[in-house]
Structure 1
Amino acid sequence: MSDRTAVLFALRDDPSLVVRAEDLGYESVWAAEGQGKTAFGKLERWAVHTDSVGLATGIVNVFGRTPATLAAAAATLDEHSDGRAILGLGVAHPGVVETFHGLPFERPLLRLHEYVELVRRYLCGDASSFEGEFYSPERTSFWDAFEPVREEIPIYNGALGPSNVRLTGQVADGWVPNLYPSDRFEEAKSWLRTGAERAGRNVSDVDVAMYVLTSVHEDPTVARRAAAEHVASYLRDVPGYYGRVAAEAGLEDDVTAVCDAPTAEAGTKEVSDAFLDRVAIVGTPAAARDSLEAIREMGVDLPVVRAPGGVDAAWIERTLETFAP
């Protein structure tokens, strides 16, 4: 079985950890983007310090930039890194799009569909016009002075719901699920397969790069506490998304308890062991490595491991060492 492994550094911007990941053999490093530093800014910095590791945006939302701006940023990163750029896109959620960007969160999947097509057009220099619901550029190519290193940069979609996963199968090179209950994964893979078949593709052509929450510590209690804090923050801060997926997997009581808790601390205490066991790898380093193999056997092509939010550099270093290919 393949030992392909990637790592998400989320909001952390530490070139020394990126270099360590490359030295340990990780296939790619992923930079998150929310309401602070840009993923592209971090990846440009990391490119200077590395030679071969893939550099992925994980995830940039399709509301925050036009397709032309995104394609230009990706092509620039690809040139500066000698062809190592990877695009992780997503529709985000109203909390980011409406509250932070001040834009209406309308028809996100249609927007994503147009967005992916246009990004590909810009990268390959297709100069024809495009008439869409959201974007209607008269020309979809860069100036002659700028020619992308690659006409095709891999595009992954961060999708959770059935329609979005099916769209991923139709138009994307890869799928990035996050905090997905393990016992629901096979059903989600069937949605991906349906989308791929609609586009005349084989589902095996779509790289499944799952974000895998990992909480590794010699003290299992400490590991579970960190993982529970992470899960609770996602359920409380991104209402209606991760909670919906978990509820559909039979974890509705857990979701309600976490979200209705009066404080974040109280919400963390409501995250059950059963919940964690279905969405995360938690435990000692030795046990954690075995659990990652189970993730691969489930049908994940590229596990993208990540440490819980808020942990220190030493914890992330331990994560890198534990799951090194």
Structure 2
Amino acid sequence: MTDRWGVTVPLDGLALAEQRSLIERLPDLGYTDVWSAEANGADAFTPLALASAWAPRLRLGTAIVPAYTRGPATLAMSAASMATAAPGRFALGIGTSSDVVVQRWNGIPFDRPYQRVRDVVRFLRAALEGQKVTESYETFEVAGFTPGVVPDQPPPVLVAALRPGMLRLAGREGDGAVINWLSAEDVRTVVPHVHAGGANKEIVARIFVIPDVDAETARGIARRAIAAYLNVPVYRAFHEWLGRAERLAPMWRAWREGDRKGALAAIPDSVVDELVVHGPAEYCREQVRRYVAAGVTTPVLAPMGGGDPERVLRAMAPAG
């Protein structure tokens, strides 16, 4: 079991500058962690830098920073800065992100994702320990980078992982894995691959939650998110591996044909209910604990659907 209980920042529904009072109260509500995400909203580091000052008891983490969209040295500098601003309270989660974010939005070729993440992890290990790095990695070269900021305690480096190869990399060369878009039962499928690299590896799971909303409304919100993510090739392959190919095939077919409305309608309720936790808050908290029982060490709630963020935070606080 775990005593950790995290939430994704920044919180939806409030401008970043308006979130201070809620972030300050998170520890008193029972939250231990805040983890950022990075796609097309806030960057991964700014919300954590604010949270480090607003609520010094919170642990901070990125879930995740893409391994492509910052140069290796820039990524190391950002991580070292956060680690020195919040000594012993920061964890760096990196991952491939997706071809949509990397290639379509940032104009960077989405080549050899496994090798890129592996190389970035190896570089970060050296740089965050203060080593001068001159190295030809398979996917990039670094010539004479000397870190100017070296944290007394290098942060753990976690790898966002979906399928076996990256999961094993997370356990072998990282300090653990960041997982998302999976059910509590799916956790039992992925965790052994991480633990092949060590039994004490951290497993951070972003868990999508919609508390205290009726089932029809919640499923409508969840379907839109599922369609947006699970039609991205890396997530489609993930769910094929998890065994959902037959149930998701009609959605994939409609999406490919340009029928967005039909794609949403084709997502079965059973898939929605497996991937997004919804219902009364007490039930939602019980479902989050199922993830923990299956092997998650750090559950990180990711509220969906907007609404009053304070209401959601109170509803999903570990003690209710």
Coarse TM-score class (shorter-chain normalised): 0.7 to 0.9
Comparing 242-251 and 149-158, the one that deviates more: 242-251
Find the counterpart in structure 1 of residue 76 from structure 2.
Answer: 71
Find the counterpart in structure 2 of residue 199 from structure 1.
Answer: none
* Counterparts of 2:87 and 2:171, CA distance in 1: 28
Find the counterpart in structure 1 of residue 36 from structure 2.
Answer: 31
Change in Cα spacing, 1:316 to 1:112, as seen in structure 2 (3 Å) is farther
Deviations 1:85-144 (A, max 9, x none): 22110011211111122121111111111111111211111125323223332334323x
Specify the SS of the correspondent of 1:172.
coil
User: How big is the shift at 1:59?
Assistant: 0.9
Find the counterpart in structure 2 of residue 122 from structure 1.
Answer: 127
* Counterparts of 2:314 and 2:272, CA distance in 1: 21
The question of whether the paired residues in 1 share the 8 Å contact of 2:30 and 2:317 is answered with no
Find the counterpart in structure 1 of residue 318 from structure 2.
Answer: 324
2:301 corresponds to which of 278, 294, 305? 305
Find the counterpart in structure 1 of residue 207 from structure 2.
Answer: 212
* Counterparts of 1:282 and 1:269, CA distance in 2: 18
Q: Which amino acid aligns with 2:270?
A: A
Find the counterpart in structure 2 of residue 233 from structure 1.
Answer: 228
Taking the TM superposition and a 5 Å limit, the aligned residue runs for 1:241-280 are 241-259=234-252, 260-261=254-255, 262-280=258-276
Q: Which amino acid aligns with 1:243?
A: R
Specify the SS of the correspondent of 2:52.
helix
The question of whether the paired residues in 2 share the 8 Å contact of 1:26 and 1:324 is answered with yes
Specify the SS of the correspondent of 2:250.
helix
Q: Which amino acid aligns with 1:271?
A: I
Comparing 273-282 and 78-87, the one that deviates more: 78-87
The question of whether the paired residues in 1 share the 8 Å contact of 2:36 and 2:44 is answered with yes
Comparing 217-226 and 284-293, the one that deviates more: 217-226
Change in Cα spacing, 1:264 to 1:127, as seen in structure 2 (3 Å) is same
1:20 corresponds to which of 11, 21, 25? 25
Structure 1 runs of 4+ aligned residues shifted over 6 Å read none
- Fraction of identical pairs, as percent: 25
1:4 aligns with 2:4: yes
The question of whether the paired residues in 2 share the 8 Å contact of 1:11 and 1:33 is answered with no
Specify the SS of the correspondent of 1:39.
coil
1:157 corresponds to which of 150, 156, 159? 159
Change in Cα spacing, 1:227 to 1:155, as seen in structure 2 (3 Å) is same
Aligned length: 311
Specify the SS of the correspondent of 2:179.
coil
* Counterparts of 1:15 and 1:266, CA distance in 2: 41
Find the counterpart in structure 2 of residue 60 from structure 1.
Answer: 65
* Counterparts of 1:269 and 1:52, CA distance in 2: 44
Comparing 182-191 and 107-116, the one that deviates more: 182-191
Specify the SS of the correspondent of 2:45.
helix
Find the counterpart in structure 1 of residue 99 from structure 2.
Answer: 94
Deviations 1:135-183 (A, max 9, x none): 332334323xx4x333410111111011111111111112111112444
Find the counterpart in structure 2 of residue 172 from structure 1.
Answer: 174
* Counterparts of 2:78 and 2:143, CA distance in 1: 20
The question of whether the paired residues in 1 share the 8 Å contact of 2:187 and 2:291 is answered with no
Change in Cα spacing, 1:32 to 1:10, as seen in structure 2 (3 Å) is farther
User: How big is the shift at 1:218?
Assistant: 4.7
Change in Cα spacing, 1:31 to 1:252, as seen in structure 2 (3 Å) is same
* Counterparts of 1:17 and 1:98, CA distance in 2: 35
Specify the SS of the correspondent of 1:138.
strand
Q: Which amino acid aligns with 2:163?
A: G
* Counterparts of 2:243 and 2:76, CA distance in 1: 40
Find the counterpart in structure 2 of residue 131 from structure 1.
Answer: 136
Change in Cα spacing, 1:102 to 1:316, as seen in structure 2 (3 Å) is farther
* Counterparts of 1:114 and 1:101, CA distance in 2: 20
Find the counterpart in structure 2 of residue 192 from structure 1.
Answer: 194
Output the TM-score relative to the length of structure 1. Answer: 0.87
